[in-house]
Amino acid sequence: MRVLSGIQPSGSLHIGNFFGMMRSMIRWQESSELFCFIVNLHALTSVTDGPLLAKNTLDAAMDFLALGLNPDKCRFWVQGDVPEHAELTWVLHNHTSMGLLERSHSYKDKLAKNFTPNHGLFAYPVLMAADILLYQAELVPVGKDQKQHLEITRDIAGSFNHLYGEVFVLPEPGIDEKLATIPGIDGQKMSKSYGNAIDIFLTQQELKKRVMSIVTDAKAVSDVKDPDACNLFAIYSLFVDEEKLSDLRERYLKPGLKYSEVKKELVEIIWNYFAPYREKREELTKRPDDVRDILKSGAEKARQVAGVTMDLVRRKVGLNY
Ligand code: ADP
Ligand code: TRP
């Protein structure tokens, strides 16, 4: 099966990205034909600092590699290194209605948060559709926030196929409902752009600062607390097994629990969880050129597949003459 997903280098990667998408991608390399890429063209819709985008791109690649992505078991590249992404996007624009894009939740959310929309932001789902359709992906592991983007992709592919015959595979979203939306330290969806993230690779001091600032309710130590309404509990649950979680649940349901103590435990738990990967991450930081080489050879491997689809598309729409 062809499995594909991408991640934006619009900031440091966080535990929402890890549990929502990265971990399942790394698992898929064992049992599927995996396509994994860093979507720097998408990040242009929100990042206008060139050196920062370049740094975040390389950092995101290092994060993936440190966490266990093996470039020999998958295709791993940077979107902007494969020109077919932009080429197919232009073709697909002509099969995308304005209304479909106007209904996009992520576009509407950004407007509500007072982002000044540019055309790139509006057209974002079309570029994402091109990313997916270019490789004829069957399954796209993502967090729940991306579900509508997958629906838009299927709509665009369906309209195109209707006109030109069966060109594109219609992809399915791979969403783990238990991990669909991981909350940030303020209880909203954790996101690079909301300032509420706990990054995967922080110093112990930074990690402590982030975890200690997780927002909890104002209940007193003597009160019984509700684990299911607690943001701290939700984050804690990502890192422990069922047994440890039910112990914590019991502590919530009895008087005496101090949120600050749970937070201190959580700092230790997160620190230890990522410990095996931290050394590899530090080692990769010292050899950025090797990481660039991995990405360049990944882009070549990706282009071989992208080229086949583009040949077919060019023929179908009449760009070959
Ligand atoms: P961000 O919102 O931080 O910019 P992206 O939009 O780049 O993250 O998301 C990259 C991947 O991580 C996507 O598959 C997305 O669904 C997933 N993801 C991001 N944040 C979360 C979250 N809070 N919970 C679950 N999955 C998430
Ligand atoms: N829009 C996705 C996100 O913000 C990133 C993305 C771009 C993507 N192209 C993709 C995800 C293709 C899956 C497949 O998370």
Per-residue pLDDT of 129-138, as tens digits, reads: 999 999 999 9
User: Do 58 and 64 contact (CB within 8 A), yes or no?
Assistant: no
- DSSP-based three-state secondary structure for 60: helix
**pLDDT for the residue numbered 193:** 82
Locate the ligand 1 atom nearest the alpha carbon of residue 193 and give its number: 4
- Tell me the per-residue pLDDT of 148-180, one tens digit each, with 9 for 90 and over: 999 999 999 999 999 999 999 999 999 988 877
- The CATH code for residues 202-273 is 1.10.240.10
Task: Residue 168: count other Cβ atoms within 10 Å of its Cβ.
Answer: 24
Give the distance (Å) from ligand 1 centre to CA of residue 319: 36
Tokens found for residue 157: 């592919």
User: Do 207 and 271 contact (CB within 8 A), yes or no?
Assistant: yes
146 lines ligand 2 (CB under 6 A): yes
| Catalytic residue flag (residue 192) | yes
**pLDDT for the residue numbered 116:** 81
Locate the ligand 2 atom nearest the alpha carbon of residue 128 and give its number: 9
Task: For the chain, list the strands marked E by DSSP.
Answer: 2-7, 33-38, 74-78, 139-141, 172-174
Q: In the chain, what percentage of residues exceed pLDDT 90?
A: 91
Q: Please determine, for residue 84, whether its predicted confidence score (pLDDT) is greater than 80.
A: yes
**pLDDT for the residue numbered 37:** 98
Give the distance (Å) from ligand 2 centre to CA of residue 149: 8
Q: Please determine, for residue 246, whether its predicted confidence score (pLDDT) is greater than 80.
A: yes
Among 110, 208, 225, 263, the one annotated catalytic:
110
Q: Please determine, for residue 106, whether its predicted confidence score (pLDDT) is greater than 90.
A: no
Q: Please determine, for residue 110, whether its predicted confidence score (pLDDT) is greater than 90.
A: no
Among 73, 192, 209, 264, the one annotated catalytic:
192
Q: Please determine, for residue 4, whether its predicted confidence score (pLDDT) is greater than 90.
A: yes
Phi-psi region for residue 12, left (φ > 0), alpha (ψ -120 to 50) or beta? Answer: beta
User: Do 192 and 198 contact (CB within 8 A), yes or no?
Assistant: no
User: Do 243 and 237 contact (CB within 8 A), yes or no?
Assistant: no
Check if 2-182+287-317 and 202-273 are the same fold: no
Average pLDDT over residues 253-272: 97
Extents of the domains making up the chain: 2-182+287-317, 202-273
Closest CA to 15 of 266, 280, 287, 215: 266
CA 209/CA 203 separation, integer angstroms: 10
Locate the ligand 1 atom nearest the alpha carbon of residue 142 and give its number: 14
Identify the weakest region by mean pLDDT among 10-14, 87-91, 246-250, 317-321. 10-14
Give the distance (Å) from ligand 1 centre to CA of residue 145: 7
Average pLDDT over residues 295-302: 98
Tokens found for residue 313: 């598309």
**pLDDT for the residue numbered 290:** 98
Average pLDDT over residues 188-210: 94
Under the banding of pLDDT at 50, 70 and 90, the label for residue 241 is: very high
Give the distance (Å) from ligand 2 centre to CA of residue 162: 25
313 lines ligand 2 (CB under 6 A): no
Handedness of CA 41, 60, 38, 15 (dihedral sign): negative
175 lines ligand 2 (CB under 6 A): no
CA 126/CA 120 separation, integer angstroms: 10
145 CB contacts (<8 Å, ≥6 apart)?
Answer: 105, 106, 181, 189
Task: Residue 176: count other Cβ atoms within 10 Å of its Cβ.
Answer: 15
Identify the weakest region by mean pLDDT among 3-7, 9-13, 48-52. 9-13
Computed over every residue of the chain, the mean pLDDT equals 95
| Catalytic residue flag (residue 296) | no
**CATH architecture classification, 2-182+287-317:** 3-Layer(aba) Sandwich (3.40)
Give the distance (Å) from ligand 1 centre to CA of residue 16: 6
Give the distance (Å) from ligand 1 centre to CA of residue 223: 34
Pocket of ligand 2, candidates 2, 3, 8, 28: which has the most ligand atoms within 8 Å of its Cβ, to mutate?
8
User: Do 37 and 3 contact (CB within 8 A), yes or no?
Assistant: no
| Catalytic residue flag (residue 189) | yes
CA 291/CA 29 separation, integer angstroms: 19
**pLDDT for the residue numbered 177:** 84
Pocket, ligand 1, Cβ cutoff 6 A: 7-8, 10, 16-17, 20-21, 142-143, 145-146, 181-182, 189-193
The more confidently predicted of residues 194 and 274 is 274
Average pLDDT over residues 209-219: 95
User: Do 249 and 197 contact (CB within 8 A), yes or no?
Assistant: no
